[in-house]
Chains A and B, each alone.
Chain A
Amino acid sequence: MISSKSRVDYQQVVRSISQSMVRLHRPERLLKLILRYLDRDMQVSHAGMMIFKEGREHFIFVGSRGKGRIPASLVKFEKNHPLVTWFSSTKNKKNSVGDYLSYQGLQRNLLEGMKSLPSSIISDWEKTASVMRTLKIELVIPAYFKKDLTGLLLIGPKKSAKAYDADEIGFFEIITKDCAIVVKTTDYQRELHEKNEQLQNHLREIEALRQKEQKTYYEIMRSLASEVYAKDVYTFGHIGQVDRLGYMTAKEMGLDLSGRRKDILSAGLILHDVGKIGIPDHILNKAGRLTEEEWAVMKTHVDKGAKILEPLSDFREVREIVRSHHENYDGSGYPRGLKGEEIPIEARIVAVVDAFHAMVSTRCYSKGRSPEFAFDELKRCAGKQFDPRVVEAFVSAMSREMRKRGVGQMAEAAPI
């Protein structure tokens, strides 16, 4: 008979141990402590806990204690072991003493059923009884998780050799249930953790590959853009400086340039004319005014550029910038006639930097103008061709930089 005191003790033990152990992913420790408790504080000669190992499809011991115990490292139960099939197959259920197996109960049933029961059942029972006898097991308590048999508590005879009473058996059932839940939960957590880890690794690999590919493509685009600049005799300019001016303007405007935003702006500035690679040289480098047809061809460079950048999926926004850098603030630009905020802010910046660049550069048809002239021109077109906020930021950032370099060097300070 279990005193109410020992019941409370057990609950305290379980509570305190499980709180620390389960979190440590060490259910074996908890189970061993429970077995030790059975061994020391209850009248059990020996006890062992077996757990079903998924994947391996057999039951192994997580612990075995006491005099006459089954050596834990030696023995496993296959799925067809009589003590496993007793609980996993339903045929014995109706005739068993309860949802546990008792050696004495089984012997009693064998005696009573000898004449009335079919011989197949009797032989099954005898086999089961023989296994229990060999292993000196008095009680087998099953543990289920959902409907699967996940564990077996094997209890040896009482030290006093008396039979276990209903109270004690009920107590063993509670313990077994607890153990099964602890083990299953920990298994799940471990599995989940491992799978998650694997998934994360795969994702990291894929992401690394993708980034590498994107970077390669970006590098190709960049060198292509340099080609464009080299091919276009008007622009003997330096991509790096276009990039720098645009960045300066964006910063002046207080745009968000954290993380990828900066890369997107930078790519837009660098790649905005990449589509010119598809414009015939005689149009691109024509000294005089373009005819209407030539001008129409020239205008296609924005869509051509966007098309070239299509595979750069990381920079979908860059495509939009490239495509929109000839849109005007008042909606009079091309190719789509977007206006105001419809035009990506980066494209509005590219438009201003590009225009400034065109004005101060010496071209076949015009000598480079002074920065001050360019500023005036930008301001005059603010609100029409250009976003006034961009113009204002550009002019103020640019003027500050020129002041820093000294007024005398103003003309030279125009860097492109």
Chain B
Amino acid sequence: MKKLLVVDDEEEICDFLKAFFEEREFDVHTAHSGAQALDSVKSASPQVVLLDVHMPGMDGMSVLRQIKQGYPGVKVIMVTAIETQEKIEEAMRLGADNYITKPLSLEYLEKDVQEKISLLTGKK
């Protein structure tokens, strides 16, 4: 089963993406904060994380850093409305596997997630 974690402080977006990927036979977990996200990475061990940058409390960048430190095998796709060059570069430096800005094309998002999964399974 392909495992995905969706992290966004907007519940509506989490639910929408959960339904979207469940329809595509993913096991989808959701988290609404950075702390929840780190817990879910630990407990659910997703292969791919869709991570919002702008969240109250711990922001996406620190979540990214901690995931990449603790679970280097997990692919992280940043999904955010913030698109300054600095943020993108920072995310890339911290090891983000892609940076997609909202609003996004669902078709592209799906393709990217599938690609990350096949990279992982290909390695195995």
Contacts and interface: CB of A to CB of B under 8 A. Distances in A.
A262 interface: no
A73 B106 CA distance: 12
A88 to B, nearest CB: 16
A81 B106 CA distance: 10
Contacts of B105: 58, 75-78, 81
B13 A81 contact: no
Nearest to A76: B103
Interface string A55-76: 0001011000000001111111
A134 interface: yes
Contacts of A72: 103
Most central of A60, A70, A75, A134 by chain B CB within 10 Å: A75
Contacts of B102: 73-74
A75 B106 contact: yes
B107 A73 contact: no
A270 B21 CA distance: 84
Contacts of A73: 10, 13, 81, 102-103
A72 B81 CA distance: 12
A73 B17 CA distance: 13
B20 A61 contact: no
A74 B103 contact: yes
Contacts of A60: 103
A81 B107 CA distance: 8
Interface string B77-115: 000010000000000000000000011111110000000
A71 B102 CA distance: 11
A78 B108 CA distance: 9
A306 B87 CA distance: 64
B13 A71 contact: yes
Contacts of A58: 105
A74 B16 contact: yes
B107 A61 contact: no
Given A73-B103, A75-B103, 12 more contacts: A71-B10, A71-B12, A71-B13, A74-B16, A75-B104, A75-B106, A76-B103, A78-B107, A78-B108, A81-B105, A81-B107, A134-B20
Nearest 10 A/B pairs, CB to CB: A76-B103, A78-B105, A71-B13, A71-B12, A74-B13, A71-B16, A60-B103, A75-B103, A74-B102, A73-B102
Interface of B: 10, 12-13, 16-17, 20, 23, 81, 102-108
